[in-house]
Amino acid sequence: MAAAISLEAGGGLAHDLGSAAVTASVALALLKFFEELAKRGVFEQKLSRKLVHISVGLVFLLFWPLFSSGWYAPFLAALAPGVNIIRMLLLGLGLMKNEAMVKSMSRSGDYRSWHSGN
- pTM of the entire predicted model: 0.69
**CA–CA separation, 59 vs 57, rounded Å?**
5
Total domains present in the chain: 1
Winning range, highest mean pLDDT, from 28-32, 85-89, 100-104: 28-32
State the Cα–Cα distance between residues 29 and 35, nearest whole angstrom.
Answer: 10
What's the Rg (C-alpha) of the chain?
17
Question: How many alpha carbons fall within 13 Å on the CB side of residue 47?
Answer: 6
Structural domain harbouring 45: 2-116
> What single letter denotes the amino acid at residue 5?
I
Q: pLDDT at residue 114 above 80?
A: no
**CB–CB of 38/100 below 8 Å?**
yes
pLDDT at 108: 58
